[in-house]
Amino acid sequence: MSKMLNLKLKIWRQAGPNDAGSFLDVDAKEIPEDASFLEMLDIVNERLIADDIEPVAFGHDCREGICGSCGVMINGQAHGPEKATATCQLHMRKFNDGDKIVVEPWQAASFPILKDLMVDRRAFDRIVEAGGFISVPTGTAPDANEIPIPKEVADTAMDAAACIGCGACVAACPNSAAQLFTSAKLAHLNVLPQGQPERYRRTEAMVETMESFFGSCTNHGECHEACPKEIPLDFIAMMNRDYVKSKIKNRSLASQR
Amino acid sequence: MVTLDAKIPEGPIAEKWDNHKFSVKLVNPANKRRFEVIVVGTGLAGASAAASLAELGYQVKVFTFHDSPRRAHSIAAQGGINAAKNYRNDGDSVYRLFYDTVKGGDYRSREANVHRLAQVSVDIIDQCAAQGVPFAREYGGLLANRSFGGAQVSRTFYARGQTGQQLLLGAYQALAGQIAAGKVTLYNQSDVLDVVVKDGEAKGIVVRDMLTGQVEAHSAHAVVLATGGYGNVYYLSTNAMASNVTAAWRAHRRGALFANPCYSQIHPTCIPASDEFQSKLTLMSESLRNDGRIWVPRDRDELRSPGQIPDEERYYYLEEKYPSFGNLVPRDVASRNSKTVVDEGRGVGPLKNGVYLDFAAAIARDGEQVVRERYGNLFDMYERITGENPYQVPMRIYPAIHYTMGGLWVDYNLMTTIPGLYALGECNFSDHGANRLGASALMQGLADGYFVLPYTIGDYLAPKLGEKPVPTDDPVFQQAIKEVDDRTRQWTSKTGGTHSVEYYHRELGKIVWEYCGMARNETGLEKALSEIPALREEFRKNVKVLGSPDGVNTTLEKVNRVDDFMEFAELKARDALHRNESCGGHFREESQTPEGEALRDDENFAYVGAWEWNGPDTPQTLHKEDLHFENVKLTQRSYK
């Protein structure tokens, strides 16, 4: 049987986007250390239901660290204390008996709170819709091996594409900037040969859409620290360079490109 | 009276799909914009279908219960995607992939569908590479492959251990492009709770907005369900928490036949449950069996730690029983043998509910560094979840529900028995028979969405040119909206509930796992058929749902799903009871060889069992689609 922890939780509760919120104090006794953080919240919720209190709403789905649905601030840290770990993969053995844990939703103006710990991250989809794709209608593709891609390039694209879109980067940023997310998407497509024809159009459109929702980057690097997939900061530099280039290349006179 | 016409095209197997593509009716490019299509689900099948239909010119509405289409559970697939590219020069071909898939499915799938799947597999890789899916590559820049269980060629393409994620992002991005172009309207956080049928044809859906609680209807010329499998009927599975059978089940209640619900695949290498609070199980890639040795202590009362148990006191049961395949026997065989040793009391771990997967020999042979390069990310994940270091102590694993082969019955066009209603991906039944081979789920989802439905849907739509979708103020829609609204509100309006939704879901899972899990027998299934309705009745009377129906209410979302699982579970047990043979993921203890292996009964059961809804609390009627094998020779599998 698991070792048991007794914890003092402060969990943010908020009925809806326009309601005032407040902390709920929970005396979470007998929490097995083998439980994940979300399973700990499950246990707390079951006890709340038994006491006729509505359970705390939080985003979650795959619980394998890949869907990007989950994510809360744990004692002020996005996804909690363990590096490179999404909330669903964080386990209670990382905490000590008697710990006080404050659980809050992502806090960013572009991620309005839907309820309790759930936020609306649809702004990320708008950024992707602005250009985060390669236009290749189904059926038009050449043979997959017709375009050789150096292994290092494919690996870099994969490093960028590993982003799960959880929003921890925005939540961790003092400016609520979305540079890490946006640059990861851009790098994934912009380093590949297939991504070249739309590279500068994509970069300009995605960066400007990002700026219409999110704050500005001032190089704190907190995003990388919070990222469960350890997306490197280099991609932000790559994005900035491509953005400057795009402002020249996207001018209407084709001969100047 | 339903008749099952699979509409398999004439001609030799290799020409059927080409013949069919030529003979289906077409909608001319300028007229496509006059048709509206609803797609439910944004996993591989749904996102690829929605994007491809929109590219053709159809007006598409796509629905997902997630906040973003990218979060569908296809994202979690690890291993890879098969394609008959023969890039390795090792003798692969469309025909071989077809043959392997029919055989791997234990001869319970439809030959024509599987051959088509193998044919379009090559186009999928081209499409995905062009979209920028970062497949693994060799130093020369060309695509890498690996081999997978059930095949003797190397035909699996992969993107690290995140192939599903990368393929889904490819499809999601294609979808995003169409959303931006105004060809697709996205409805996120929308729970589809019913299918609307008028004059025998699918005309739309009923949806609950998960943010406001508003119930509303959407109509179209055709409805496409791509809503995944029913693995969560077991409560514990490797499926995501919200994966459910609801849309498919509601379609079934509206007249779509449900095929082979007893088939479910159990993955042998998952992390065992550690306690009652366990909410889901985590899969560890099957590739681990290439280097890990599976064993349990011979002594049931063994108390020593694994490292202290000498070799002769260890029971390497797969290596002993299957000398030629050893630890690499197919998924179902590995799983059943784990169950046998655990049931015998030889299980390991604090709850004695696992078996060891031991890398000590591989580490001694190849060095820790080599093992780390091969499996480092999996070892890290294992340590994160269990707190144990698998470089030092053996992993503990146990089988878990992973994929479901059964689903809505569809014809060759992927249309269900309700005209105008299609089912794609895991939510249909057609391609994997009684067992799915590794790296074939991603292939099927994308085949259906990118390359099958875009051709076949025109055949249904073409004659409807000029017809308008039924307006949603039509009485049939208003009635359906009212039914969904009433059904949803009843849960929060009653008082005096005793147990949570989670409690009842867990109880249901225990029954289904016990009697309709890895091994089934008549007595157990009869028991399940009496216990499930009793539990359902208690659940409907006593479940406690707090909060308001108007707004975000995650318990309310779940209660509708569990309610549908409560009905579905009974059909699953009934199907398992009637199929008195062992095949693939369905092992009937009454039907085994003297050595205890699965024994098929081709004489009596070479058919698809498709069930027709007869109303609540009334047993469904069984319809049979006989399977004809003209190309593949039926043999009994042996891995000795």
pLDDT tens for residues B456-481?
A: 999 999 999 999 999 999 999 999 99
pLDDT band of B136, cuts 50, 70, 90: very high
**Contact yes or no for B176 and A62 at CB 8 A:** no
Catalytic residue list contains B88: no
pLDDT tens for residues B294-317?
A: 999 999 999 999 999 999 999 999
Does the pLDDT of residue A11 top 80, yes or no? yes
Residue B447 included in any domain: no
pLDDT band of B178, cuts 50, 70, 90: very high
The alpha-carbon radius of gyration of chain B (Å, integer) is 24
Mutate to test the interface with A, among B122, B125, B126, B187 (most CBs of A within 10 A): B126
The whole-number average pLDDT for the span A91-106 is: 97
% pLDDT > 70, chain A: 98
Q: With an 8 Å Cβ cutoff, is B181 touching chain A? A: no
Residue of A nearest to B284 (CA): A64
pLDDT score, position B79: 84
> Is the CB of residue B107 less than 8 Å from the CB of residue B629?
yes
Q: Which residues contact B227 (CB under 8 A, 6 or more apart)?
A: B40, B41, B46, B192, B244, B246, B247, B248, B427
> Is the CB of residue A193 less than 8 Å from the CB of residue A147?
yes
Helix or strand holding residue A203 (H, E): helix A199-213
Domain boundary among B401, B427, B455: B401
> Could you tell me if B369 and B274 lie in one domain?
yes
The whole-number average pLDDT for the span B104-125 is: 97
pLDDT score, position B165: 97
> Could you tell me if B374 and B489 lie in one domain?
no
pLDDT band of B590, cuts 50, 70, 90: very high
pLDDT band of B1, cuts 50, 70, 90: low
> Is the CB of residue B410 less than 8 Å from the CB of residue B429?
yes
Tell me the two tokens of residue B501: 């939704």
Burial B435-472 (b: 16+ CB within 10 A, else e): bbbbbbbbbbbbbbbbbbbbbbbbbbbeebeeeebbeb
In chain A, which segments carry CATH 3.10.20.30? 4-115
**Contact yes or no for A134 and B130 at CB 8 A:** yes
pLDDT tens for residues A142-179?
A: 999 999 999 999 999 999 999 999 999 999 999 999 99
Q: Give B153-182 as a 3 state SS string.
A: CCCEECCCCCHHHHHHHHHHHHHHHHHHCC
Domain boundary among B401, B424, B439: B401
Does the pLDDT of residue B288 top 60, yes or no? yes
Residue B88 included in any domain: no
List the end-to-end C-alpha distance of chain A, in Å, as a whole number. Answer: 66
The whole-number average pLDDT for the span B138-146 is: 95
Tell me the two tokens of residue A16: 């809806």
Among candidates A15, A67, A158 on the partner chain, residue whose Cβ is nearest the Cβ of B159: A158
Give the CATH number of domain A4-115.
3.10.20.30
pLDDT score, position A254: 59
Among candidates A2, A148, A189 on the partner chain, residue whose Cβ is nearest the Cβ of B132: A189
Q: With an 8 Å Cβ cutoff, is A208 touching chain B? A: no
pLDDT score, position B325: 84
The residues in A 109-168 lying below 8 A from B, measured between CB atoms, are 114-115, 118, 120-122, 124-125, 128-145, 147-151, 154-155, 157-158, 161-162, 164-165
Does the pLDDT of residue B376 top 90, yes or no? no
Among candidates B139, B387, B555 on the partner chain, residue whose Cβ is nearest the Cβ of A91: B387
The whole-number average pLDDT for the span B273-295 is: 88
Rounded CA gap, B602 and B408, in Å? 23
Does the pLDDT of residue B527 top 90, yes or no? yes
Does the pLDDT of residue A219 top 60, yes or no? yes
Higher-confidence position of B227 and B284: B227
Q: With an 8 Å Cβ cutoff, is A59 touching chain B? A: yes
| CA-wise closest residue to B602 among B628, B569, B624 | B628
pTM (predicted TM-score)? 0.97
Rounded CA gap, B289 and B328, in Å? 6
% pLDDT > 70, chain B: 99
> Is the CB of residue B258 less than 8 Å from the CB of residue B611?
yes
The whole-number average pLDDT for the span A223-231 is: 98
> Could you tell me if B490 and B378 lie in one domain?
no
Rounded CA gap, A72 and A117, in Å? 7
pLDDT score, position B269: 93
Does the pLDDT of residue B374 top 90, yes or no? no
Identify all chain B residues contacting A1, using CB atoms and an 8 Å cutoff. 275, 350
> Could you tell me if B278 and B392 lie in one domain?
yes
Does the pLDDT of residue B150 top 80, yes or no? no
> Could you tell me if B387 and B488 lie in one domain?
no
List phi, psi (to 5°) of B363: -70, -40
Decide if domain A121-256 falls under CATH 1.10.1060.10.
yes
The whole-number average pLDDT for the span B316-335 is: 89
Among candidates B132, B169, B275 on the partner chain, residue whose Cβ is nearest the Cβ of A2: B275
Does the pLDDT of residue A2 top 80, yes or no? no
Residue B371 included in any domain: yes
In chain A, which segments carry CATH 1.10.1060.10? 121-256
Residue in the structure block whose two tokens are 């704050």: A215
Does the pLDDT of residue A256 top 60, yes or no? no
Identify all chain B residues contacting A147, using CB atoms and an 8 Å cutoff. 129
Q: Say which DSSP state B327 is in.
A: G
A74 beta partners: A77, A103
Q: Which domain holds residue B493?
A: 475-604
pLDDT averaged over every residue in chain B: 95
| CA-wise closest residue to B68 among A175, A132, A184, A92 | A132
**Beta strand spans in chain A (E):** 4-14, 21-32, 73-74, 77-78, 100-104, 113-115, 118-119
Mutate to test the interface with B, among A82, A119, A122, A136 (most CBs of B within 10 A): A136
Given the DSSP bridges, would you call strands A4-14 and A100-104 parallel, antiparallel or unpaired?
A: parallel
Residue of B nearest to A150 (CA): B141
Does the pLDDT of residue B515 top 60, yes or no? yes
pLDDT score, position A233: 98
| CA-wise closest residue to B136 among A99, A150, A55, A116 | A150
pLDDT score, position A255: 60
Residue B147 included in any domain: no
The whole-number average pLDDT for the span A105-129 is: 98
Does the pLDDT of residue B152 top 90, yes or no? no
% pLDDT > 90, chain A: 96
Provide the domain count of chain B. Answer: 2
Task: Report the CATH number at residue B392.
Answer: 3.90.700.10
Residue of A nearest to B164 (CA): A66
Does the pLDDT of residue A257 top 90, yes or no? no
pLDDT averaged over every residue in chain A: 96
Does the pLDDT of residue B519 top 60, yes or no? yes
pLDDT band of B147, cuts 50, 70, 90: confident
